[in-house]
Amino acid sequence: MPEKFDVIVVGAGPAGTACALVCAQQGLNVMLIERGEYPGSKNVMGGVLYRKQLEDLIPDFWKEAPLERPIIEQRFWMMDKESVVSFGYKGLEWGVEPYNNFTVLRAQFDQWFAKKAVEAGALLVNETVVKECIVENGKVVGVRTDRPDGDLYADVVVLADGVNSLLGKQLGFHKEHRPDEVALTAMEVINLPKEKINDRFNLEDNQGCTIEIFGDSTQGNLGTAFLYTNKDSLNIGVGTTLSSMIKAKLKPYDLLDYLKNHPMVSPLLAGGESAEYLAHLIPEGGFRSVPKVVGDGVVVVGDAASLVNAIHREGSNMAMASGKMAAEAIVKAKTRNDFSASGLNSYREALYNSFIMKDLEKYKDAAHTFEKYPQYFKEYVPMMNKAASKFFTVDGTPKREKQKQIMKSVTAERGTIRVLQDMYRAWKAVK
């Protein structure tokens, strides 16, 4: 007779591990199943780990977790072909406890995080693929793995299997993502000596910097690029929605190559050695593409539930928070021994009352707007660059006169009405 668990969690990413950790801490018998050689072995992330949601799970985690650098500076670049308009914030208060964000390498971080769940009592099984949920009388009662004698049973199955969630599709919770709902991102880890990174980014040893790059980084397509500092490597990546890639006939690697060779970027990478190349999807459908998250004997967390805020590049934190909420709902369901959809519904309630769904709702039109009106990326970024160039070039023209010329050239290029329209639309999308 196969063993029965209280909870089976599929996928040891941030969402699944957070859920397994909390369930185990609450004394439940938890099985965590991961298909990779070890947690994080294939997982991909630009690398910003937000402090708050992990701290809720593991207080003072920064004292032991394998973190790269605490981020003390965030820069934003509006990049044109040969220029960039940059702004950002650097604050030393982010460099001391309790910190703000960190860069991480997922291959290391996920392993550590999963170890925490194991120490709390969860059973971790790697190199095992869950093929499907076992459904009896419309209720999920377990999972079928690809191993011999591989069926396992549980009161609740947690789907934390990431963006493509085959299991969610099997259950009919969601359909195949539409190309405009996912971003395809390619990234590379580039080894570079610590001293070089410190010099080039103006940092001390234990300080990190992130740069988000818009505009020419995606050759004007809807998407962004990033460049983050690790201890002795850089993460550089770029992605656009799948639909833009298809439309513009782009390959993710070509975009990345273009970015790496961009004159604003390449000096920062010079002399580095490529250590890893990765590509991954990000669910960016936002509020409208969040699927059903609770069913009889099953809950869905993290990327599997499309819980990603594309505008702010938040994903792992939402994954952790949703995993924790799901765990709390499961613990509650256990006390009542009711694992039906209504017994587990407190997860859905918690999720919709949390920052996660509120933030997703706030931006529910953003992606749509920017995709539909490409001028934001294609025209305004170059315009900003031209304007800045004009404004800062000292050529004897009075500043007031310069401002006038700049305004004129903007409205001349797009027309006053259209500029106002664009501004209103953008404001509405992110308000």
Ligand X SMILES: Cc1cc2nc3c(=O)[nH]c(=O)nc-3n(C[C@H](O)[C@H](O)[C@H](O)COP(=O)(O)OP(=O)(O)OC[C@H]3O[C@@H](n4cnc5c(N)ncnc54)[C@H](O)[C@@H]3O)c2cc1C
Q: Which residues bind another protein (CB under 8 A)?
A: 2-3, 31, 37-38, 41, 105, 107-108, 111, 123-125, 128, 145-152, 189, 191, 233, 275-276
The DSSP H or E segment spanning 75 is: strand 71-79
Check residue 33 for interaction with ligand X (CB under 6 A). yes
Distances (CA, A) of 213 to 91, 218, 228, 238, 292: 20, 9, 11, 9, 33
Check residue 10 for interaction with ligand X (CB under 6 A). yes
Q: Which stretch binds ligand X (CB under 6 A): 10-18, 60-68, 88-96, 324-332?
A: 10-18
Q: Residue 252 touches which of ligand X, another protein, none (CB < 5 to 8 A by kind)? A: none
Question: Which of 47, 142, 215, 223 touches ligand X by CB under 6 A?
Answer: 47
Q: Residue 147 touches which of ligand X, another protein, none (CB < 5 to 8 A by kind)? A: another protein
Check residue 295 for interaction with ligand X (CB under 6 A). no
User: Pick from 251, 207, 253: which is nearest to 228 by CA?
Assistant: 207
Hey, CA dihedral for 124, 130, 134, 140, is it positive or negative? positive
> Do residues 194 and 56 touch, judged by C-beta distance below 8 A?
no
Binding to ligand X (CB under 6 A): which residues in 147-186?
160-162, 185
Check residue 208 for interaction with ligand X (CB under 6 A). no
Q: Which stretch binds ligand X (CB under 6 A): 70-78, 115-123, 307-315, 415-423?
A: 307-315
User: Pick from 297, 382, 380: which is nearest to 342 by CA?
Assistant: 297
Question: Which of 8, 22, 31, 36 touches ligand X by CB under 6 A?
Answer: 36
Q: In what order do the strands lie in the sheet with 233-241?
A: 84-90, 71-79, 208-215, 223-229, 233-241, 182-191, 273-283
Question: Which of 69, 262, 280, 348 touches ligand X by CB under 6 A?
Answer: 280
CB of 276 to another protein, least distance (A): 7
Question: Which of 237, 252, 272, 285 touches ligand X by CB under 6 A?
Answer: 237
Q: Residue 66 touches which of another protein, ligand X, none (CB < 5 to 8 A by kind)? A: none
CA distance 376 to 220: 9
CB of 61 to another protein, least distance (A): 20
Q: What are the φ/ψ torsions at residue 428 (nearest 5 degrees)? A: -65, -40
CA distance 106 to 48: 10
Alpha-helical (H) ranges within 249-380 are: 252-260, 266-269, 316-336, 345-353, 355-362, 366-372, 375
Q: What is the DSSP string of 214-246?
A: EEGGGTTSSEEEEEEE-SSEEEEEEEEEHHHHH
Binding to ligand X (CB under 6 A): which residues in 66-125?
none
The DSSP H or E segment spanning 123 is: strand 123-125
CB of 147 to another protein, least distance (A): 4
Give the interface with ligand X as residue ranges (CB under 6 A). Answer: 10-16, 33-36, 42-48, 129-130, 160-162, 185, 187, 237, 280, 282, 302-304, 308, 313-317, 319
